[in-house]
Amino acid sequence: MSGSRLRSVATVIGLSIQEGLRKRVFLAVLVLTAGFLALYGLGAHFAFRDVDGFATGETEILDPRAFTGATIFGLAMFATLFLGAVLAVFLTLGVVRGDAESGLLQPIVVRPIGRTTMLIARFAGAAALSAAYVLIVYAAACAITAAAGDWTPDHLVTPALALALGVAIIAALSLLASTLLSVTAQGIVVFMVFGAGLTAGLLAQIGNAINSDSLHTIGRVASWALPFEGLYTASLHALISDTTGLTGVVLELGPFGGSEAAGPGLIAWAFVYLLGVLALAAFVFSRRDL
């Protein structure tokens, strides 16, 4: 990429960040996230305090701290993904069609920056901010869980990176939707796709619990069709992948049921998928009359 193009990318990313700061989007996100983390901290505190009251006999066969920690942290992971997805969608809302309809886009794209560079810059800005946000919330939730119950996930880094990659994919899907749909339709469609992915994951979980191959297959197909779901499931798996015995079995019956390791295949596919979605968005954008 040439120097001038890189400068243009940096300018558009800077514009997005400046806009977020001036419109107090980041301040609102910060306040709401602090609220979520405070609530999570409170929940973790009471959950660990209550399981400390388990009888000695029970704790010999089930590790209550591991069970509680993994369960509430799994919930925090879901919330982190959801909040990251909300941020990714809002940072890419109306980027193409919406801004073109309001007249914001034209003065920018008639400059030498060009459409593809503009799109890449908007993706880079949204994906980097959403991914950074997810990593920060993940780390905070992890620290709260460790402080409240002295429990940490079996794998610390890989689930965080998988979640970050997941929200980057959501940002790319939202950007693609913005090339085709008006602002409201874009928001609705992306959140419906997000919901559909998570629902498919739940189906796989139910399939696992009732030993249904069909439901399990639906879940697996959805994981590949919407890799953010596969990455989320893989993140959940990584939290407890080294937990054995009855604790591991009980956790598999809960929100972690059906979770599978990401494996290099899914990670590689997620990157190919991401690039494919961006390429399609750039193609649609390049052919759109503004």
Partner 1 sequence: MAAPVLAVKELSKRYGKQQALAGVDLAVEPGQLVGLLGPNGAGKSTLTKIACGLVRPSGGGVEVLGRPAGSPEARAALGYLAELFRFPGWCTADELLRLHQRLAGSAGGEAERRELLDLVELGAAADKRIEAMSKGMQQRLGVAQALVGSPRLLLLDEPTSALDPVGRRIVRELLEELRRRDVAVLLNSHLLSEVELICDHVAIIAGGRLIKAGTPVELAGPAAVEVETGSGVRTFEGATREDAPRIVAELVAAGERVYRVEVRHSSLEDVYLEAVGGQTG
Residue numbers of the site for partner 1 (CB under 8 A)?
4, 7-8, 11, 15, 19, 22-23, 102-104, 106-114, 287, 289-290
Query: What is the spatial distance between Cα 90 and Cα 192, in angstroms, rounded to a whole number?
Result: 14
- Pair of tokens at residue 112: 């030498």
Distance between CA atoms of residues 14 and 10, nearest Å = 6
- For residue 198, the minimal CB distance to partner 1 (Å) is 34
Residue placing its CB nearer to partner 1 in the complex, 49 or 111: 111
Minimum distance between the CB of residue 256 and partner 1, rounded to whole angstroms?
44
Q: For partner 1, which is the closer residue by CB, 178 or 243? A: 178
Least separation in angstroms between residue 19's CB and partner 1 is 6
Which residue, 22 or 55, has its beta carbon nearer to partner 1?
22
Residue 116 vs 212, nearer CB to partner 1 = 116
* Measured distance CA(10)–CA(17) in Å, rounded: 10
**DSSP annotation of 54:** S
CB of 9 to partner 1, least distance (A): 11
What's the min distance (Å) between Cβ of 236 and partner 1?
39
Residues 6+ apart with CB under 8 A from 141: 37, 40, 73, 76, 77, 80
* Closer CB to partner 1, 209 or 290, in the complex: 290
Alpha helix (H) residue ranges in the chain: 3-22, 25-51, 56-61, 64-91, 97-102, 106-109, 115-149, 157-180, 183-209, 213-225, 227-240, 245-253, 263-287
